[in-house]
């Protein structure tokens, strides 16, 4: 990753803008303010809701309502939909591969239902999908997208995208299942049109076309051109169905930070014409499996991965700023057995830190408790926009409200498309991180 180049330019632009405003007559200034207000309302605020979070974390769709988060979101990305060995979207009860019980079969009681009414045994749609439908009824402007793939379920994307015939079949299967809502029949659940209207579009989370991802994920050099063709096929079929429904369906993607991965898999100018926006990887720049502690989501970093570097990489390859949505982590990466003293950053570590759900990975709500415990000290690199916790042995790098305020300022200053969060179940019960982002994007 090349050194950052936009920070100084951004500060100069802000200064120049301030001088210009001071020299402008009052009526013109008011008009500029109206433009800013319209832009604020247009910021995307995209949160990933994890299918499996309803189990151990007990994070239900209703929690988005009680925390106040739903009112602050523009989009919910439902993670994830899977692609089978036959190159088609599927929803079968295959452990580790698909979970229709969580998606649409599981009954919710009144206490855990958005509308306060318990699901019945006879209704065709229950589970998370029905709760998303109820949440959208309360927030008519809120959109839900099905995210396809992710790190673990991108296995068969390359095969599905390989030919014109396979692409057509793949896209048709996904639209039939998630957009038309034709779910497999499971007792009283499912059937033709059972989930119609739940999803407002499709989010492609192929990790990664043209370069390595998870251990069993297939990738090929031709993925790059095939991804472009796949995006075009999704756009074509979504538009065709949208004309029948007299509406428009959105198409988005999660895209990488590393320039090598961008160049291996993405014809940026071509695909950006088809996407409504893309969500930039703004985290996991370094992970707990590495032998040295490091930042995972810094706004700026010299000669290292950073949010600013990611934005630069996509802009330089032809992406419009307004279609770039900045990814933000609602979790931290952690190491233990850290030696070398100091503030712990950039020091050798023995292993990923113990955590609630997976070693080296912890939700923000748990890290917030560590920060308040008095055992850990909070360290900040204010110039480069990141924070970490260190107790002398264990280090966690994470984003807190102060870091997110700096990132929302960056979004506004660079006129980006908005903010995305992985994942909503990592926030506090009162939506502390979501509130910080919402307020930051709506500052004058």
Lowest mean pLDDT among 36-45, 174-183, 318-327: 36-45
Q: Is the pTM of this model over 0.85?
A: yes
- As annotated, the active-site residues are 207
Q: Report the pLDDT value the prediction gives residue 15, as an integer from 0 to 100.
A: 38
Mean pLDDT (whole number) for 313-338: 98
pLDDT at residue 26 is higher than 50: no
Q: Report the pLDDT value the prediction gives residue 420, as an integer from 0 to 100.
A: 98
On average, the pLDDT of the chain sits at 92
pLDDT at residue 307 is higher than 60: yes
Confidence of residue 443 (pLDDT cuts 50, 70, 90): confident
From CA 119, how far away is CA 23, in angstroms rounded? 61
- Where do the structural domains in the chain lie, given as residue ranges? 36-330+398-441
CA 69 vs CA 43, 75, 100, 412, 432: distances in Å? 15, 11, 25, 21, 9
Helix (H) or strand (E) holding 158: helix 157-160
Question: Are 340 and 32 a contacting pair, CB within 8 Å?
Answer: no
Q: Report the pLDDT value the prediction gives residue 256, as an integer from 0 to 100.
A: 98
Q: Report the pLDDT value the prediction gives residue 9, as an integer from 0 to 100.
A: 41
pLDDT at residue 80 is higher than 80: yes
364-397 pLDDT, tens digit per residue, is 999 999 999 999 999 999 999 999 999 999 999 9
CATH no., domain 36-330+398-441: 3.20.20.80
Torsion angle, CA of 125/131/133/136, rounded to 10 degrees?
Answer: 180
Q: Report the pLDDT value the prediction gives residue 41, as an integer from 0 to 100.
A: 54
From CA 58, how far away is CA 69, in angstroms rounded? 16
The residue written with tokens 């251990």 in the block is 215
From CA 284, how far away is CA 282, in angstroms rounded? 7
Angle (CA) 345 410 319, round 5° = 105
From CA 46, how far away is CA 252, in angstroms rounded? 11
């Amino acid at each position: 990753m090349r050194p950052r180049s936009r920070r100084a330019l951004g500060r100069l632009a802000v200064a120049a803008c301030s001088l210009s405003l001071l020299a402008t007559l009052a009526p013109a200034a008011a008009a500029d303010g109206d433009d800013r207000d319209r832009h604020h309302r247009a910021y995307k605020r995209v949160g990933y809701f994890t299918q499996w979070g309803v189990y151990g974390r007990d994070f239900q769709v209703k929690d988005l309502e009680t925390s106040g988060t739903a009112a602050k979101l523009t989009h919910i990305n439902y993670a994830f939909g899977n692609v089978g060995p036959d190159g088609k979207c599927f929803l079968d009860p295959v452990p580790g591969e698909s979970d229709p019980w969580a998606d649409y079969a599981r009954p919710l009681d009144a206490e855990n239902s958005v509308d306060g009414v318990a699901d019945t045994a006879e209704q065709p749609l229950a589970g998370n999908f029905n709760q998303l439908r109820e949440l959208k009824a309360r927030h008519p402007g809120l959109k839900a997208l099905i995210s396809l793939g992710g790190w673990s379920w991108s296995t068969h994307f390359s095969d599905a995208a390989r030919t014109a015939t396979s692409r057509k079949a793949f896209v048709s299967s996904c639209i039939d299942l998630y957009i038309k809502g034709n779910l497999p029949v499971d007792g009283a659940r499912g059937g033709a049109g059972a989930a119609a209207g739940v999803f407002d579009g499709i989010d492609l989370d192929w990790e990664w076309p043209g370069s390595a991802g998870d251990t069993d994920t297939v990738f090929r050099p031709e993925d790059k051109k095939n991804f472009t063709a796949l995006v075009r096929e999704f756009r074509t079929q979504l538009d065709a169905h949208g004309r029948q429904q007299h509406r428009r369906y959105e198409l988005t993607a999660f895209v990488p930070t590393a320039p090598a991965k961008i160049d291996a898999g993405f014809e940026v100018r071509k695909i950006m014409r088809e996407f409504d926006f893309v969500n930039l990887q703004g985290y996991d720049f370094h992970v707990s499996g590495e032998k040295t502690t490091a930042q995972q989501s810094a706004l700026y970093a010299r000669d290292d991965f950073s949010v600013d570097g990611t934005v630069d990489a996509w802009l330089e390859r032809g992406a419009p700023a307004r279609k770039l949505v900045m990814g933000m982590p609602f979790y931290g990466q952690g190491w233990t057995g850290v030696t070398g003293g100091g503030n712990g950053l950039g020091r050798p570590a023995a292993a990923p830190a113990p955590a609630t759900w997976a070693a080296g990975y912890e939700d923000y709500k748990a890290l917030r408790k560590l920060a308040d415990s008095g055992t850990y000290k909070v360290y900040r690199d204010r110039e480069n926009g990141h924070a970490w916790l260190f107790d002398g042995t264990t280090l966690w790098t994470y984003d807190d409200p102060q870091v997110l305020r700096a990132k929302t300022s960056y979004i506004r200053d660079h006129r980006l498309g908005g903010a995305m969060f992985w994942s909503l179940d990592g926030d506090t019960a009162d939506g502390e991180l979501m509130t910080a982002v919402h307020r930051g994007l709506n500052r004058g």
